[in-house]
Each structure stands twice: as C-alpha cells, then as structure tokens.
Amino acid sequence: MDNEFKINYLLNILKTTPKVVSDRIIKDQTRLNFRKDYYDLKESIDNFLEHDTDDRFYILPGLRGVGKTTIVFQLYDYLTNERNINSNHILYLDLDRLKDQGPFNLLEYLDIFIKDINEEAYLNNWPLFIFIDESQYSSNWDHVGKIIFDDYKNVFIIFTGSDALNLQSSMDSARRSLKKEIYPLNFAEYLYLKYGCEIPRGISDSIFNAILFNDFENLIKDERYIQLNVYNKFKRDINKIWDEYIQYGGFPLSFARKNHASIIQLGLDMKNRIVEKDLDIVLSVNSQTRLNTYSLINILALQKPGTLSYNKLAKNLEISKKTVGNLLNALECTQMIFHIEPHGAITKRNRRPWKYYFLSSQMKAAIYQNSGQATKTKGEYMGILTENLVGSLLFMMKNKRKQDFGIFYEEEKERADFLINTIDGRIIPIEAGYGKKGKRQVINSMEDHGSEYGIVVSNKTQSIKIEENVIFLPLKTFSML
C-alpha cells in the first residue's frame, strides 16, 4: 500500500471516529458511567498534559468483552470535550479492521499520523494521542510501541487487545510500558455501571483487608451503608439482581441486550471469537485442533468444579495428553480460564492434577445454559457458578493487587474450596456455596493448618456474621471484591 492510501485511510479514521465514540459511550442521551480503570488512565493523561512524565505507554490486555474499547472511547471523549484536544490529534486505530486491507506496517501508519498529518504538532511538540485496539494483530506492536515511546516524547500511546499481548511483550517494551489488566466486572462495578448505584470506593480494599488480615471493621461499615443506601432503593429483590449478575453481568456489553437469550448468545460469540481468532496467536491451530478446543471448553463448562484427568480428557477427545496440556495452556493464555494447584510442596503441585475455572462466570453460564444443563436444579447450577465466581475474584484480586500470596485447593474431602497461603505462612480457608452452607469444611481446613480463622462465602446470611473463628461473608458483599 502506498503512502497516499495510508494517508487517506488515516484521514477517514480521524473523520469518522467522533461519531463512533459518541454512539458507543452515549445511550439515551446519557454518557456511560466510568470504571476505576478509566480514572487511573485519566490521571496518567492529566499528568502527561501537565507535567513531564514518562508514564505515557500503556498496555491494556484482557478477555474479550470486558470493556477495554469503551474505556479508550471514554478517554477520547474526555480529551476532546474536557481537555479541548483537537480530534485530529487523537488516533484510534482498530487493527482488526486494518488487517482486512492486507499486510500492513503499523509503524509506517503511526509515523504518517505523527509527522505528516500532524506535522505542526510534531514540530511544536504538541501532545498527540494514539490508541491502538486489537493490537495482537500486529506481530511487532511492542517494538512499535518502544520506538514511538523513545522517538516521540509528545505522544501518549495505549495498546489494547486480548491477553495474548502478555506473551508478545518484549523486555524492551516491558521496561518502558505500564500494563493494566482489564477484568470482568465485580458486583460493585455492575451496580454502578448498569444502575448508577454509588458504592463506597474503598469497598474492594475493605474486603481485601478482611480476607487477608481478619480486619472486618471497615467492611461491616461499608456493608451497612450499601444495605441502607443501595439495596433498599431497589424495588426488586437485591438477591435476584445478584443472581442476574453472576449469570449475565460480567461484561459491560451485556447491558445493551434486552433479554437473557441475547446475553447468552453474546457469551457464546465471545467464546467463539477467542477460539477462532485469539487461539492462533498462542498455538498452531488446524481445523481438528479447533474442534477439539470447542469440545474441551464444553467439558470445562459443564463439569462440576474439580480436578481434570489429562488421561480421561485425552481418551474422550481422542487426542494425546500433550495436546490436552497445550490446549489448556493456550486457553489460559487467552485468559478464558485459569487454574488452581493443590496445596503442598512444589513437587506435589507439579505431580497432582489442577482445578480449572472460567475467568468470567458469565461465559461459563452461557455455555452451561446453552447445553440445557442449567434446567436441572437451581441450587446445583448456582452452586457451580458461585464456586467459579469466588475463585475468579480471588484470582483477579491477586493479579490486580500484585500481592505475594498463593491460591490453592485441598485434595482431601470435606475441606474448604480454597486456601489462601500468605507470604508470612498463614493459611486462610475459604468455602464457597449457594443455599444452605455450614462451616464444617472450613473448620476441618482450619484444624489441618492451624488457621486463626476461616471464611464461608454464601447466601446463607444477608450480613456479615462471625461465629467463633468462622466468618460468614454474604455472596453479595464478597462479589464486590
């Protein structure tokens, strides 16, 4: 493609982006609410505009549908409408669309945007902004980001894409960039984004301190505030709203869907896009491998939480154990799933089977319901989703906070679902359940490990209850982690 085509392509993008952004972030003449991730990035943009800072190269990986593009569009809107940045100084480039034009050199497009289309800004060192979406479709996006960062001090750049961006990052880009994972919504974000409910900003910190340090004072205050000022304002039963959240509320894109069938289809579509597009980035995939991947995902979604036998999976799928391992690893790289290892010495963890969970309970629910399995009994179905949700929130807590603790499971029966192993050697058992849930499993794990306290996360109670050394934490409260 010659330079004239590239210039015209970029000029057309600059012309059409304002309407694309408006259509995406304004619904019924009201702008969408903001996630905390937006405010974090906005603060970095403000620092870039007002101070001399090197925090101007960001990578936003994450599962499809979690709202990365919406955050970028909200930043675009902030720049144009509140910071009065000329829209021609902001490039939003979707590489999923650009790749349809044929092979492309990303650096050439960005050089043209900076030095040709915005020559005056380039010469005068005026701020420019580049937002690259679906970055995984450029094999050298990280190298391009490094060059832009090094050569153009007046450019603030964000790359978003699937979690495969983590694999493509080089040491050079890692030294220069800041990574911010974007995750499925917790219950607090769901209530705020969908219903405009004001949730105490420190709620996640309160839950974290309660779990890790047995400090429940602030959490009890936050929970009481939410019950009085949020839950009581709903005409509907808040428990039913939570039931909808765990099944249909993990992805902001779901909010625009009018019925559950449409939301289920959205979850299935995202699953299919991961298999059809993202998988190719981390694994050599042929048609048979892709079919095996679909079968494996269904097995993961339909089973009760538990360990997976590679031998059994290999036999059922008629593939080798090595291929099973490669597929599971690839799905983890896309962040569709994650694993939890058995508690014990590292040699034991490497020998024993792992438990696998979906990062989004919504995606698991979509596959589960599409198979007709969800009609068996509500208790069993919701119990499966609840354990998945608790596991995923703990996993996200660890990654978002960059905390040095482990999440494990116990192989012995009648034990807690999860064990938190802190850096100072404390073991915190956590049991997850829906419906009537006792404390026997947690007590057994506490006795095994000499734990000072344990936690039962369930809908058995509507408020935090403490019985001796066992804390009953309501699902609604824990889901705001």
Position of tokens 């974000």?
189
Asked if residue 472 and residue 334 are part of one domain, the reply reads yes
Asked if residue 412 and residue 290 are part of one domain, the reply reads yes
Q: How many domains does the chain have?
A: 2
Asked if residue 283 and residue 360 are part of one domain, the reply reads yes
Number of H helices, E strands in the chain: 23, 15
Domain boundary among 179, 207, 232: 179
Domain boundary among 131, 148, 179: 179
- Between the CA of residue 388 and those of 10, 91, 302, 433, what are the distances in Å? 43, 39, 12, 10
Q: What is the pLDDT along the chain (481 residues), one digit of tens a residue?
A: 688 999 999 999 999 999 999 999 998 888 999 999 999 999 999 999 999 889 999 999 999 889 999 999 999 999 999 999 999 999 999 999 999 888 899 999 999 999 999 999 999 999 999 999 999 889 889 999 999 999 999 999 999 987 666 655 666 666 788 989 999 999 999 999 999 999 998 999 999 999 999 999 999 999 999 999 999 989 999 999 999 999 999 999 899 888 999 999 999 999 999 999 888 888 888 899 999 999 999 999 987 766 677 888 898 899 999 999 999 999 998 889 999 999 987 766 667 889 999 999 999 999 999 987 666 688 889 999 999 999 999 999 999 887 779 999 998 999 999 999 999 999 999 999 998 778 999 999 999 999 999 999 999 899 999 998 999 999 999 999 9
SS3 letters across 258-271: CCHHHHHHHHHHHH
Alpha carbons 451 and 469: distance in angstroms, whole number = 9
Asked if residue 460 and residue 351 are part of one domain, the reply reads yes
Position of tokens 């009994």?
377
Asked if residue 208 and residue 88 are part of one domain, the reply reads no
Alpha carbons 240 and 243: distance in angstroms, whole number = 5
Domain boundary among 131, 156, 179: 179
CATH code for the domain of 145? 3.40.50.300
Contact 451, 445 (CB under 8 A): yes
Asked if residue 19 and residue 62 are part of one domain, the reply reads yes
Asked if residue 262 and residue 226 are part of one domain, the reply reads yes
Asked if residue 217 and residue 150 are part of one domain, the reply reads no
Asked if residue 300 and residue 425 are part of one domain, the reply reads yes
Which range of residues forms the domain containing residue 44? 3-179
Cβ neighbors of 14 (< 8 A, separation 6 or more) are: 87, 88, 91, 117
Alpha carbons 59 and 235: distance in angstroms, whole number = 41
